[in-house]
Amino acid sequence: MPSEQPISQLKVVVAGGFGAGKTTLVARTSEIEPISTDEQLTTAGIGTDSLDGVEAKTSTTVAFDFGRLSLSSQNLALYLFGTPGQARYQFMWNDIVEGAIGAVVLADTRRLEDSFDPINYFLRLELPFIVGLNQFEGSARYPIGHVREALRLDEDIPVIGCDARDPRSGRHVLITLVKHAHAMAVRAHHTRPSPARRPHV
């Protein structure tokens, strides 16, 4: 009997602005009980955390979210790490991102400007990422091309609509990220200069 191929374990990051749906996406797609570090919002955040557009939000991630998703068809296990959204917690991002193959930036059209910080962060790191446009109830719907233009994204960065509450939608987002990260790795391999050959003597 042929031996089964070992499962590849990959780390992916789910980032985005405050209230963009990161905790929800990790929780709804995880096949294990997710770990969450959500804390209740308090008056201490007044003047620091803007609730414009997310007035119903009552809690926030203060460290990270964690979940796991198996993609049996691709023999992969994804370990999902959700980042905190507020700027004052971004000092933790370097530790969270270390070892990741790529990231999902969840964008909220009600607060699209919150996407610029994570997008610029991953661009500086040269870490592959995609943008998941989270479709909140009651939020404006914009063509993907308009969102791409507003976020100043190159054509080779995937932007897809999603619903963080729907496990199938979240799974599609993560599969899209894995495929994009793989394509970027293949491209980098083919464009890497060949080592110089030693001359014959």
| Domains with residue ranges and CATH for the chain | 8-43+57-191 (3.40.50.300)
Q: What is the dihedral of CA 97, 139, 146, 186, to 10 degrees?
A: 30
Q: Give the pLDDT of residue 173.
A: 97
Residue with more model confidence, 152 or 199 = 152
Distance CA 80, CA 103 (A): 9
Q: Give the pLDDT of residue 42.
A: 46
* Residue of 182, 186, 175, 31 whose CA lies nearest to 101: 182
Q: Give the pLDDT of residue 195.
A: 57
pLDDT tens, residue by residue, 175-192: 999 999 999 999 988 876
> Residue 85 burial (CB < 10 Å; 0-12/13-18/19+)?
buried
